[in-house]
Amino acid sequence: MGGSLNINHLMFLGQGALWTIGLSLIGLIGGGIAGFIIALCRISPSRVVRLLSAGYVQLIQGTPLLVIMFLTYFGLPTLGLTVSPLTAAGASLTIYVAAYLGEIWRGCIQSVPRPQWEAAEGLALSRVQRMTKVILPQAVRIATPPTVGFMVQIIKNTSLASVVGFVELARSGQIINNSLFEPFLIYAIIAVIYFALCYPVSRISRRLEARDGPVRPIIETA
Amino acid sequence: MRKISNPPTNSPVVSLKDVHKSFDKLKVLDGVDFEVDRGEVLAIIGRSGSGKSTALRCIDRFETIDSGEIVVCGHRVNDPKLNLRALRQDVGIVFQSYNLFPHLTIEENIILAPCSVKRVGKAQAKEQAQQVLAQVGLEDKLHQYPEQLSGGQQQRAAIARSLAMQPKVMLFDEVTSALDPELTGEVLKVIEALAANGMTMVMVTHEMGFARGIADRVVFMHRGRVHEIGSAAILTSPATPELAQFVGTGL
């Protein structure tokens, strides 16, 4: 078959890794913006808005990301809407991340102690002022460690984009393996690169938790 | 000292008429009546669960009532069309747990509401912050964060934060219950000075000596009702056995 692993193969893997990072950022930014809106909707004074956003979260959390990818890439064209692999992967990831970050952030906002809301209300601040000036600044501190931790999930989940033909790290490994047929070597390299991407992020998350969170034992899993 | 704005005749600043309130099946307020006049200091005492804190919180609409009427500074508090923010500009409330905003300095805590609610300029608000902090004896803590202050100092800062909105009436909800006797003393001194300046105040308190010292009138609540009301003298010569028993164990 196609010879042995050379620098060109590694360059190709590197390019795939860059797309993995790119797709992760798309998921984080898109999902972050949508997730923030979801979090606010989940605690809205309007019952309808609360129910709709809760329904969205339940629906997405109960659907595998793989299926969401299939739906956007293969399903939308049957409705007359053709999307590129990048668009399909980016949109799916955004939809998926929004549900999880929305729920994480809702919890963080609600974990700001109730008396803080009351004190802000007692000072005649409007709902928007209470949110932006009193609650959110405190919620951000609480939210940082779990959010950074969830980024690890995003990075790993981008590998599913390979099923819609998007050439990120996992897909580029498959392509190289198809010509070299050295699965153990190549997938080991892929695993190491994923680990190299995820490990620093999870270290940061743990550091943040140790700094801001309540005192609790740190369970080393890495 | 304080500027008294739009005095509408001699009507009371706070009035509760036949107020009822239940949490699920538990009746907390069972027909509460009392009034507070301008410049008056009213102390509400009673056992835990007697409804005294709930009554206080109803005044600032932190609790809604089932029936009856509450009027505060001309606002009909139980009216569904109540302008809640207008009510809360007229009413200052201080809580047992201080509730300063931990991510803001003391100065930022104090100027937040004047700047964002009343649209006071920053320079003017800062000047005023200095003034109210001097009033509570904390002028040197302007740039510290709440966690750097003792409990008593935090509570005084919380009082200053309320004062900066120039409320027409102040509510105190067991503001010294989380403090040791020494820190309690410094907070009570601040409240005493406010009383001397003519601030209208309603305070739920466990400090019987203090209630006797500064309250113009004392309300004794028992089982969701005003069981006894009168001058501070009722604490030394109670008319009902319930109050006698309460002050007997309370003093």
Mean pLDDT of chain B: 92
Q: Give the pLDDT mean for B10-28.
A: 92
Q: Could B101 and A134 be called an inter-chain contact, meaning their C-beta atoms sit closer than 8 Å?
A: yes
> pLDDT at position A212, please?
54
- If you write DSSP's letter for every residue of B159-172 in order, what string do you get? HHHHHTT--SEEEE
Q: Could A121 and B113 be called an inter-chain contact, meaning their C-beta atoms sit closer than 8 Å?
A: no
> pLDDT at position B207, please?
87
Q: Could B62 and A133 be called an inter-chain contact, meaning their C-beta atoms sit closer than 8 Å?
A: no
Q: Residue A161, Cβ neighbours under 10 Å: how many? A: 29
Q: Could B165 and A123 be called an inter-chain contact, meaning their C-beta atoms sit closer than 8 Å?
A: yes
Q: Could B88 and A115 be called an inter-chain contact, meaning their C-beta atoms sit closer than 8 Å?
A: no
Distances (CA, A) of B129 to B123, B145, B158, B164, B165: 10, 15, 12, 7, 10
- List all residues 6 or more positions away from A89 whose beta carbon is below 8 Å from its beta carbon: A23, A69, A73, A158, A161, A164, A166, A168
Does A111 touch chain B if contact means CB atoms closer than 8 Å? no
- Is the pLDDT at B200 greater than 50? The verdict is yes
- Is the pLDDT at B211 greater than 70? The verdict is yes
Output the furthest CA–CA distance in chain A (Å, rounded): 75
Q: Which residues of A121-133 are buried (b: 16+ CB within 10 A; e: fewer)?
A: bbbbbeeebbbeb
- For B45-67, the pLDDT digits (tens) are 999 989 999 999 999 999 999 99
Residue B250: which pLDDT band, with cuts at 50, 70 and 90? very low
> pLDDT at position A214, please?
42
> pLDDT at position B92, please?
96
**What are B42's two structure tokens?**
């009213």
What domains sit in chain A, N to C, each tagged with a CATH number? 7-211 (1.10.3720.10)
Question: Helices B181-196 and B151-163: crossing angle, nearest 10°?
Answer: 20
> pLDDT at position B9, please?
56
Angle at B88 between CA B87 and CA B90, to 5 degrees: 70
Residue B11: which pLDDT band, with cuts at 50, 70 and 90? confident
- Residues pairing with B173 in the sheet: B204
Using CB atoms, pick whichever of B97, B102, B116 lies closest to residue A125.
B116
- Is the pLDDT at B224 greater than 80? The verdict is yes
> pLDDT at position B178, please?
87
- For B155-194, the pLDDT digits (tens) are 999 999 999 999 999 999 999 998 998 899 999 999 999 9
3-class secondary-structure state, position B71: strand
> pLDDT at position A4, please?
84
Instruction: Return the domain boundaries, chain B.
Output: 14-249
CB contacts, 8 Å: A130 with chain B: none
Q: Give the pLDDT mean for B79-103.
A: 95
Contact B60, A116 (CB under 8 A): no
Q: Could B112 and A141 be called an inter-chain contact, meaning their C-beta atoms sit closer than 8 Å?
A: no
Contact A213, A149 (CB under 8 A): no
Domain B14-249 CATH assignment equals 3.40.50.300: yes
Distances (CA, A) of A32 to A37, A76, A151, B186: 9, 24, 11, 47
For chain B, state the CA radius of gyration: 18
- List all residues 6 or more positions away from B134 whose beta carbon is below 8 Å from its beta carbon: none
Interface test with B, best of A111, A116, A123 (most B CBs within 10 A): A123
Q: Residue B113, Cβ neighbours under 10 Å: how many? A: 26
The residues on B that touch A, with CB distances below 8 Å, are 60, 62, 85-86, 88-89, 91-93, 95, 97, 99-103, 112-113, 116-117, 158, 161-162, 165
Interface test with A, best of B103, B154, B165, B174 (most A CBs within 10 A): B103
Contact B197, B1 (CB under 8 A): yes
Q: Which helix (H) or strand (E) holds B23?
A: strand B14-23
> pLDDT at position B248, please?
82
How far is CA B68 from its chain centroid?
21
State what percent of residues in chain B have pLDDT above 90: 84
Q: Residue A120, Cβ neighbours under 10 Å: how many? A: 22
**What are A148's two structure tokens?**
């950074």
Question: Helices A7-42 and A136-157: crossing angle, nearest 10°?
Answer: 140
Using CB atoms, pick whichever of A115, A116, A124 lies closest to residue B88.
A124
Q: Which stretches of chain A score pLDDT less than 50?
A: 1, 213-222
For residue A125, the distance in angstroms to the closest alpha carbon of chain B comes to 6
CB contacts, 8 Å: B99 with chain A: 115-116, 118-119
